[in-house]
């Protein structure tokens, strides 16, 4: 009889141990698995490292298994730990969904919305978009985060960002996307450059210039290398350093171009307001030249998780962007779950209008 009841007793004891686990502990193990480091995970969770370590050790004791292999500079996840972390992420996602459902029942536009945006879009779009958001949805503050595309996709998948403003293409991870606009690229040269008075340039001419590019990890860099593939050969070869230089931001590169180091390619909206309005061709330091047709462009979209329930909030962000004055770009829209409006094209000055026959990716 004793032997017969031992498995049941053990199972009951295990269930009791598991029943004591908390969502906070699940959040901690997901963070450690992501960061592969207890210190960085604690920082990401806004707690001290001892607090996080004690909580994880307690959870391991309750589950009766080791989740992590400790030792060396990096923490690794055990095979069983990997399965538990994946399940923990699902539990956290479903918990977030419960909160979102409750919030939607009250008001989908009430409460903060976490918005990610890539670094080559944020400085030029956010100031315009935020003015509209403050007017249209003052009760929904936006918590903004700039980062690389890969990092934003990870934050979006984990639920740390609600919606992201990205440039296609990016790895398909099952997100819902809403097209926003298609934005031409433009060449920026020093005002004293021989090209400064030209009406346009061709992509093939770029390979004969010293090009300033963003560093690896920026999707805009990849787009520029698609426009002029020869630059990839130069940027990867140590002997070709005289042909390409890499910067950490578009604004750093813009200042380097102004100093006469080389030329670069920028998103259309990175041009100064007076140039975008068609009143000038330069800003006193740089001249901006459109590409010859068909002009290369990038497609900007909103992306969010399929499980995200505050669709009205996503629509508010979309509408704020589409209602912002973005001269020289073409709005994109398609019918779908988010109730998208019909397509329209922003009014553009004459110089701009000649340059927006965009290449479809």
Judgement on whether residues 123 and 140 belong to the same structural domain of the protein? yes
Mean pLDDT of the chain: 81
CA–CA separation, 90 and 159 (whole Å):
10
Query: What average pLDDT does this structure show over 139-153?
Result: 91
Whether residue 295 contacts residue 185, with contact meaning beta carbons closer than 8 Å, is answered with yes
Last residue of a domain, one of 64, 85, 104: 104
Q: How many domains does the chain have?
A: 3
Per residue in 199-214, pLDDT tens? 999 988 888 888 888 8
Q: Which CATH number goes with the domain that contains 70?
A: 1.10.10.10
Greater model confidence, 267 or 108: 267
Q: Which CATH number goes with the domain that contains 317?
A: 3.40.190.10
What 8-state DSSP symbol labels residue 199?
Answer: S
Q: Find all residues with CB under 8 Å of 299, minimum gap 6, and list them.
A: 167, 168, 179, 181, 182, 183, 332, 361
Q: Give the sign of the dihedral formed by CA 270, CA 276, CA 282, CA 283.
A: negative
Judgement on whether residues 140 and 282 belong to the same structural domain of the protein? no
- Is 96 inside any structural domain? yes
Judgement on whether residues 186 and 278 belong to the same structural domain of the protein? yes
pLDDT band of 357, cuts 50, 70, 90 = very low
Judgement on whether residues 122 and 256 belong to the same structural domain of the protein? no
- Is 274 inside any structural domain? yes
CA–CA separation, 242 and 135 (whole Å):
49
CA–CA separation, 317 and 303 (whole Å):
11
Residue the block writes with tokens 């050969």: 233
- Is 361 inside any structural domain? no
CA–CA separation, 30 and 85 (whole Å):
6
- Is 248 inside any structural domain? yes
- Is 349 inside any structural domain? no
- Is 359 inside any structural domain? no
Per residue in 282-308, pLDDT tens? 888 999 999 998 888 999 999 999 989
Q: Find all residues with CB under 8 Å of 81, minimum gap 6, and list them.
A: 29, 33, 65, 66, 67, 68
Whether residue 173 contacts residue 153, with contact meaning beta carbons closer than 8 Å, is answered with yes
Judgement on whether residues 127 and 63 belong to the same structural domain of the protein? no
What pLDDT shows up at residue 27? 95
Q: Look up the domain containing 90 and give its range.
A: 2-104
pLDDT band of 31, cuts 50, 70, 90 = very high
What pLDDT shows up at residue 72? 72
DSSP conformation letters of 61-118 = HHHTS--EE--SSS-EE-HHHHHHHHHHHHHHHHHHHHHHHHHHHH-TTSS-EEEEEE
Judgement on whether residues 284 and 187 belong to the same structural domain of the protein? yes
């Amino acid at each position: 009889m004793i032997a017969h009841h031992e498995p049941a007793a053990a199972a009951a004891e295990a269930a009791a141990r598991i029943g004591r686990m908390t969502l906070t502990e699940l959040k901690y193990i997901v963070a450690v698995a992501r960061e592969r480091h207890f210190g960085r995970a604690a920082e990401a969770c806004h707690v001290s490292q001892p607090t996080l370590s004690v909580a994880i050790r307690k959870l391991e004791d309750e589950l009766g298994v080791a989740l992590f292999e400790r030792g060396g500079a990096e923490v690794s996840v055990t095979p069983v730990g990997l399965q538990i972390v994946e399940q923990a992420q699902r539990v956290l996602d479903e918990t977030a969904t419960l909160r979102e459902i409750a919030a939607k029942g009250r008001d989908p536009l009430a409460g903060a919305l976490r918005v990610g945006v890539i670094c080559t879009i944020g400085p030029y779009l956010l100031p315009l978009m935020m003015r509209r958001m403050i007017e249209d949805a003052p009760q929904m503050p936006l918590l903004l985060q700039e980062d690389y595309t890969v990092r934003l996709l990870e934050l979006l998948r984990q639920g740390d960002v609600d919606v992201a403003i990205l440039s296609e293409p990016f790895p398909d991870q099952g997100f819902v996307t809403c097209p926003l606009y298609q934005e031409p690229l433009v060449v920026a040269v020093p005002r004293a450059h021989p090209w400064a008075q030209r009406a346009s340039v061709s992509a093939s001419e770029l390979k004969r210039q010293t090009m300033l590019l963003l560093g690896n990890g920026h999707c805009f860099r990849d787009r520029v290398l698609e426009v002029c593939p020869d630059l990839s050969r130069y940027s990867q070869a140590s002997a070709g350093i005289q042909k390409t230089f890499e910067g950490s931001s578009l604004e750093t590169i813009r200042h380097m171009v102004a100093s006469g180091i080389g030329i670069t390619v920028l998103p259309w909206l990175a041009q100064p307001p007076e140039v975008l309005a068609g009143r000038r061709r330069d800003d006193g330091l740089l001249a901006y030249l459109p590409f010859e047709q068909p002009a290369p462009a990038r497609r900007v979209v909103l992306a969010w998780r399929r499980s995200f329930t505050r669709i009205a909030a996503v629509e508010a962000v979309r509408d704020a962007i589409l209602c912002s004055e973005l001269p020289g770009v073409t709005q994109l829209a398609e019918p779908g779950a988010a109730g998208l409006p019909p397509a329209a094209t922003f009014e553009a000055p004459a110089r701009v209008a000649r340059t927006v026959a965009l290449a479809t990716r």
